[in-house]
Structure 1
Amino acid sequence: MSNLFRAVTIDVDGNAEAVQWDTTTGTLTHLQQAVGGLVDLVALHEHVTMWVNDEGIVKGMPMNIVATSIARGFGFTHQPYFGTAVFTGGGDEEGETLGLSEQHVEALMNLARLAQLQLA
C-alpha cells in the first residue's frame, strides 16, 4: 500500500495547488502545516473533505473566498471559511483520512479556477 497522499490546497488569494504528501507517519502534521495550526474538518461529500484552521477567524486570517465558494457549491452556505483550505478524500472504515483520486483532484482544480473567474 502506498503512503503517497493526494490533496489540493487553496490559499486566501485563490491559488490552487495539487500536492502529494508522504503520509508514512500520518496526515495530521501535513494538514496542520498547510493551514497554519489546529485543523477543523468540513465533510463536504462522502469523497471530499475540506480542512481549515480551527481558529482562522479568531486569528484574523483573511476569508478564503474560493474555498468558501466551493463549500457553498456542496450546500454549505451557513458560514465563510478563513485561511488556507486543504481538500482531501473522505475517511476509510477506520476513520483515517484518504487522499483524493485523480478525478477529484482535477474536479477541485477546475472548481477553483471557475470560482476565481466568477470573482474576477
Structure 2
Amino acid sequence: MSSNIIDAIDQAIADTTVSLDAMRSVPGDADGIRVVVIPADEDEPITLRYLARDENGSTLRAMQATVGGYVDVVRTAEGVDVWINDEGLLMGLPFNERATAFVHAVKWALATCEWSGAVSLSLRDAMEEALVAQRYTRLVGPAIISGCNDEGETVSVPDVAVEFLQKMGLM
C-alpha cells in the first residue's frame, strides 16, 4: 500500500466516531442494518453506520444515497457483500483503494483458509478468484460492506467482516 493510504488508515482509526460496541446496540435488522462505509477519499474515515429501512422494509434507498446512485454488489465471501455505485466507472468516480484492498484481502484469506467466516470455496477456486480479483477488480466511489443471509437478503455486516477490517488496519 502507498504511504498516503497508510496515513489515511491511521487518520481513519483516529477519526472513527462510532465504536463497534455502540453499533451492536442498534435496533435489530427488522428496523435497519449495520454497515461499514468506505469512502473513496482516503482523507475520510471508514465508519460504521446504521441504515434504516423505509416504509416498504427496504434499505435500497439508503444504500443508493450512500453510494450516490444505483447500486451493484460484489460478492466477497459467503455472507459478506460490498455495494458500490453501479455507474461509478462511467461517472468517473475516484478509485477506492481501501475497498478494493478489502475485496482482494478477503479473496486471499479464503484461498489461504485464514477467513474465519464460513468458507464455501475450494482452495483451487478461491485461489483462482483471488488472482482474478487482483487483476480486474478496481472499485470506484464509496463502498458499503453488508451481510447477506441464506435467502440472499441484505442484512447487517457480520462481526467477522468488521474484525477482518480491524486486522487489516483499516478500522
TM-score where L is the length of structure 2: 0.59
In structure 2, do the counterparts of structure 1 residues 92 and 112 end up closer, same or farther at CA, with 3 Å as the change threshold? farther
> Shift of residue 87 of structure 1?
0.3
1:66–1:112 Cα contact (<8 Å) kept? no
Q: Can you list the C-alpha shifts for 1:47-97, whole angstroms capped at 9, x where unaligned?
A: 21000011111101000011111111122222201000000002332x211
In structure 2, do the counterparts of structure 1 residues 103 and 82 end up closer, same or farther at CA, with 3 Å as the change threshold? same
User: 1:43 maps to which residue?
Assistant: 75
Q: How many correspondences in the alignment?
A: 113
User: 2:149 maps to which residue?
Assistant: 91
Compare the two structures and name the one with the higher helix fraction.
2
Q: Distance in 2 between matches of 1:29 and 1:85?
A: 15
1:43–1:90 Cα contact (<8 Å) kept? no
Q: RCO greater where, 1 or 2, for CA within 8 Å and sep 6 or more?
A: 1
Aligned identity (percent) is 32
Alignment of structure 1 residues 32-111 onto 2, 5 Å: 32-73=64-105, 74=107, 75=130, 76-77=133-134, 78-93=136-151, 95-111=152-168
AA aligned to 1:22 is A
Specify the structure having the higher radius of gyration (Cα). 2
5+ residue gaps, structure 2, are 1-27, 108-129
> Shift of residue 36 of structure 1?
0.3
> Shift of residue 3 of structure 1?
1.7
In structure 2, do the counterparts of structure 1 residues 41 and 111 end up closer, same or farther at CA, with 3 Å as the change threshold? same
